[in-house]
């Protein structure tokens, strides 16, 4: 606790009242002040107004406090318009123009506008939490701008794939500009690391739904760069992620971003999507892949899928058995991890300030903790009974029990589905951009000889 000098001096308020009387006259120079600890933390009320406001005789006019206005709402609406425009331009550049330099330029614009100019807040990634909070907390209303930031990229993804990731998201852009030496992440590692993003999404929803914290914003590694200030922990984290981004393509987007997880799934079923070979003008069907293998290593995000070899008949049998087993295991996995999640409530619930406070007050009252904290002092100054606080804390813990079931169940389900996905045989004859993983950055376009033919033709 930060030590307050008054408590150290600590005796009664009486002296202060005496001083009030002296105040009108000429008070003594040196005074020792004494107060009780509890009064140090109570807000002033009318009857406590110890010194009546004076009536001035010299015509002194009281100044009134200034209240500088917040930035105009118009800027926020402009943000939505810019977002909409950027998404539209992005979709055109990715699907129609197929120009990597243009997509890169759009990403730089977004980095400057949404990142450095608008300081990265509010962003679509963080908006998940506002939406979740508003669903679970009746008293919280989402500002319309936040809703738009959450929704527009999702809708665009349903139509055009992950164009938001390609050129609109400032978090993606800042990683993309530093990517100079991409290394290939092995497939197994890529899949394993990606699970973290799902866990992160689940945790973000859990903590937002219970009104505990917005962890996506709290641990956003880049927002401190956008603000050009921040504490050392978060700057170190951001710096490390950027350092990794030099060699591993957009690690935050691939392995951490909770919004990216949602976009992945929507991108799987998008109306139009990125194709390595250009689409044939009339029919709209992607041109035939000649399997020249030129694009094979062009994707720094491991999103290009190679043609598959046929399975042996024997592999088929074992593969089928494995798939059946995994499908049976899926509910078991979901339930068991869900159970484990619910058992975590005592740990997870501590993210909520009320639970932390209740635990502290309990420890102090039971004589198990020395001294006080600012929070426990503040609570005691309110005059509320600890029992009330304990009841609130148990209600919140109960929420975390239920939430833990869902969180754990979700994680179990994802792991199970991932295993199933990996055991599924996918037949491919061409080099294709994986609809889910493709960030639509457009790097692969110029590797395709068909694309060169298209550009010559134009």
Partner 1 sequence: MTENKEPVTRRHFLKDTLWGTCLAGLGGLTGFIIHKHRKTGTLWQIDPYTCIACGNCATYCVLDKSAVKCMHAFSLCGYCRICFGFFGPEPLDITEGAENQVCPTGAIKRRFVEEPYYEYTIDESLCNGCGKCVKGCNTFGNGSLFLQVRHDRCLNCNECSIAAACPSGAWKRIPAEQPYLLKTQHEAGAHA
Enumerate residues 252-271 that contact partner 1 by CB under 8 A: 266, 269-271
Work out whether 458 is an interface residue with partner 1 (CB under 8 A): no
Residue whose CB is less far from partner 1, 23 or 394: 23
Binding region for partner 1 (CB under 8 A) out of 43-51, 314-322, 416-424, 448-456: 43-51
Q: Is 230 in contact with 224 (CB distance < 8 Å)?
A: yes
Q: Does 169 help bind partner 1 (rule: CB under 8 A)? A: no
Count residues contacting partner 1 (CB under 8 A)? 106
* Phi and psi at residue 71, to the nearest 5°: -55, 150
Token reading at 405: 């079931």
Should residue 218 be labelled a site residue for partner 1 when binding is judged by CB under 8 A? yes
CB 84 within 8 A of CB 149: no
- Cβ-based nearer residue to partner 1, 136 or 247: 136
Q: Does 154 bind partner 1 (CB under 8 A)?
A: yes
Residue closer to partner 1 (CB basis): 105 or 158: 158
Q: Are 262 and 201 in contact (CB under 8 A)?
A: yes
What value does the CA radius of gyration of the chain take, rounded to a whole number of Å? 30
Q: Which two tokens stand for residue 369?
A: 């903790």
Q: Smallest distance, Å, CB 247 to partner 1?
A: 29
With respect to partner 1, which residue has the nearer C-beta, 11 or 292?
11
Distance CA 204, CA 212 (A): 10
Taking the complex as a whole, the smallest distance from the CB of residue 51 to partner 1 amounts, in Å, to 3
Site for partner 1 in 389-448 (CB under 8 A): none
Rounded Cα distance between 397 and 348, Å, is: 9
Query: Of residues 108, 178, 213, 246, which one binds partner 1 by CB under 8 A?
Result: 213
**Nearest Cα residue to 152 out of 253, 78, 83, 92:** 83
CB of 142 to partner 1, least distance (A): 5
Looking at residues 48 to 107 of the shown chain, list those that interact with partner 1 (rule: CB under 8 A). Answer: 48-54, 56-58, 60, 62-65, 67-71, 73, 76, 95-96
Determine, following the binding rule CB under 8 A, whether residue 282 of this chain makes contact with partner 1: yes
Which tokens sit at 407? 């969180």
Compare residues 176 and 451 and give the one whose CB is closer to partner 1.
Answer: 451
The residue range among 129-137, 242-250, 251-259, 323-331 that interacts with partner 1, by the rule CB under 8 A, is 129-137
- Is residue 12 a contact residue for partner 1 (CB under 8 A)? no
**230's torsion region: left (phi>0), alpha (psi -120 to 50) or beta?**
left
Is 328 in a helix, a strand, or coil? helix
Identified binder of partner 1 from the candidate list 82, 102, 105, 131, rule CB under 8 A: 131
Judged by CB under 8 A, does residue 38 bind partner 1?
no
Query: Which residues, listed in sequence order, are joined to residue 286 by a DSSP beta bridge?
Result: 279
C-alpha dist (Å) from residue 234 to 10, 56, 107, 227, 306:
39, 52, 24, 12, 38
d(CA 415, CA 191): 10
Among positions 348-387, residues that touch partner 1 (CB under 8 A) are 353, 373-375, 377-379, 381
């Amino acid at each position: 606790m930060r030590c307050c000098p008054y408590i150290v001096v600590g005796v009664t308020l009486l002296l202060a009242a005496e001083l009030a009387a002296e105040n009108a006259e000429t008070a003594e120079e040196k005074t020792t002040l004494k107060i009780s600890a509890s009064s140090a933390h109570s807000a002033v009320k009318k009857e406590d107004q110890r010194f009546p406001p004076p009536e001035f005789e010299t015509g002194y006019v009281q100044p009134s406090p200034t209240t500088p206005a917040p930035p105009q709402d118009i800027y926020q609406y402009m943000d939505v318009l810019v977002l909409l425009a950027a998404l539209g331009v992005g979709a055109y550049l990715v699907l129609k123009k197929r120009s990597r330099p243009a997509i890169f330029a759009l990403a730089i614009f977004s980095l400057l506008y949404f990142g450095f100019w608008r300081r990265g807040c509010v962003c679509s990634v963080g908006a998940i939490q506002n939406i979740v909070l508003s669903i679970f907390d009746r008293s919280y209303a989402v500002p319309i701008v936040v809703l738009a930031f959450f929704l527009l990229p999702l809708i665009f993804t349903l139509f055009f794939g992950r164009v938001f990731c390609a050129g609109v998201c400032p978090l993606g852009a800042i990683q993309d500009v530093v990517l100079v030496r991409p290394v290939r992440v092995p497939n197994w590692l890529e899949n394993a690391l990606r699970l973290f993003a799902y866990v992160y999404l689940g945790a973000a929803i859990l903590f937002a739904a219970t009104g505990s914290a917005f962890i996506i914003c709290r641990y956003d590694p880049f927002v401190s760069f956008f603000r050009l200030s921040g504490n050392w922990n978060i700057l170190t984290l951001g710096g490390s992620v950027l350092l990794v981004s030099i060699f591993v393509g957009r690690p935050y987007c691939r392995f951490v971003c909770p919004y990216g997880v949602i976009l992945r799934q929507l991108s799987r079923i998008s109306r139009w999507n990125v194709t390595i070979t250009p689409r044939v003008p009339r029919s709209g069907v992607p041109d035939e892949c000649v399997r020249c293998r030129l694009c094979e290593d062009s994707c720094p995000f491991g999103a290009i899928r190679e043609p598959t070899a046929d399975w042996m008949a024997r592999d088929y049998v074992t593969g089928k058995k494995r798939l059946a087993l995994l499908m049976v295991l899926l509910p078991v996995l979901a339930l068991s991890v869900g159970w484990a999640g619910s058992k975590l409530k005592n740990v997870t619930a501590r993210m909520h300030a009320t639970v932390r406070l209740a635990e502290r007050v309990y420890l102090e009252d039971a004589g198990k903790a020395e001294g006080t904290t600012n929070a426990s002092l503040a609570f005691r100054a309110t005059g509320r009974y600890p029992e009330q606080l304990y009841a609130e804390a148990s209600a919140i813990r109960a929420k975390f029990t239920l939430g833990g079931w869902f969180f754990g169940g979700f994680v179990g389900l994802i792991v199970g589905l991932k295993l199933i996905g990996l055991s599924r045989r996918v037949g491919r004859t061409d080099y294709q951009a994986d609809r889910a993983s493709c960030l639509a950055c457009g790097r692969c376009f110029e590797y395709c000889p068909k694309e060169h033919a298209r550009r010559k033709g134009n």
